């Protein structure tokens, strides 16, 4: 759903995120956010949402039950044995 919110740029480039927008994104003071600049638009994501999106992308290409972190660790250990 597309929603628009009005804000103002304040001192130091700060933008106040309206309360309705914060609630929609489940953002709280001190939360990390990710900003994306694309085609002249600035998009804001809750970092947790960005992580979920990244996991969904990876899941499309990696079979269920595969341990990518474990595979990487095993590869690095094997490489270090040959140094």
Read off the CATH number of the domain in which 30 is found: 2.10.260
Give residue 73's pLDDT band: very low, low, confident or very high (50, 70, 90).
very high
* Cβ-based burial of 49 (10 A; exposed 0-12, middle 13-18, buried ≥19): middle
Residue 6 in any domain: the answer is no
Residue 5 in any domain: the answer is no
Cα distance between residue 37 and residue 24, in whole Å: 21
Mean pLDDT of 60-79: 91
Of all residues in the chain, what percent carry a pLDDT higher than 90? Answer: 30
Q: Please count the other Cβ atoms lying within 10 Å of the Cβ belonging to residue 50.
A: 14
Residue 44 in any domain: the answer is yes
DSSP letters spanning 42-71: EEEEEHHHHHHHHHHHHHHHS-TT--HHHH
Residue 37 in any domain: the answer is yes
- pLDDT tens figures, 36-65: 899 999 988 888 888 888 888 988 988 888
Closest by CA to 46, choosing from 63, 34, 56, is 34
The whole-number pLDDT of residue 65 equals 87
The whole-number pLDDT of residue 74 equals 94
């Amino acid at each position: 759903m597309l929603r628009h919110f009005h804000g103002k740029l304040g001192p130091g480039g700060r933008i106040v995120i309206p309360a309705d927008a914060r609630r929609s994104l489940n953002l709280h003071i001190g939360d990390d956010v990710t900003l994306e600049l694309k085609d002249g638009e600035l998009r804001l994501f809750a970092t947790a949402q960005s992580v979920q999106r990244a996991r969904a992308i990876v899941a499309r290409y990696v079979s269920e039950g595969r341990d990518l972190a474990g595979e990487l660790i095993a590869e690095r250990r094997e490489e270090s044995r040959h140094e």
